[in-house]
Amino acid sequence: MEAARGLLERGGLGVRTVAARTGFGSEETLRRAFLRVLGVAPSDYRARFRSTEFTEVS
C-alpha cells in the first residue's frame, strides 16, 4: 500500500501500471484496497497530489 501511495503521489504512471508494479495484480484489486484502507479510490487519491499552477495577479 505504501509503495502504491508513493507512486500515485509522484504521478506519471497510470493506476493500472501502479497496481502491476506494486503487486496488486489488477487495477480493481488496488481500487478495492484503497477504498477499504483509505476510503478513497486511487485516482481520487492521486488527484489530491497534483500540483496546481497559480497565476500571479498584479
**What's the pLDDT tens digit per position in 3-48?**
999 999 988 899 999 999 999 999 999 999 999 999 999 999 998 8
Whole-prediction pTM: 0.79
Domains plus CATH for the chain?
2-47 (1.10.10)
Do residues 14 and 22 touch, judged by C-beta distance below 8 A?
A: no
Do residues 33 and 24 touch, judged by C-beta distance below 8 A?
A: yes
Do residues 18 and 42 touch, judged by C-beta distance below 8 A?
A: yes
Residue 28 one-letter amino acid = E
Name residue, grid cell 497510470.
14
- Residue 48's pLDDT is what? 85
User: Above 60 in pLDDT, residue 55?
Assistant: no
User: Above 90 in pLDDT, residue 58?
Assistant: no
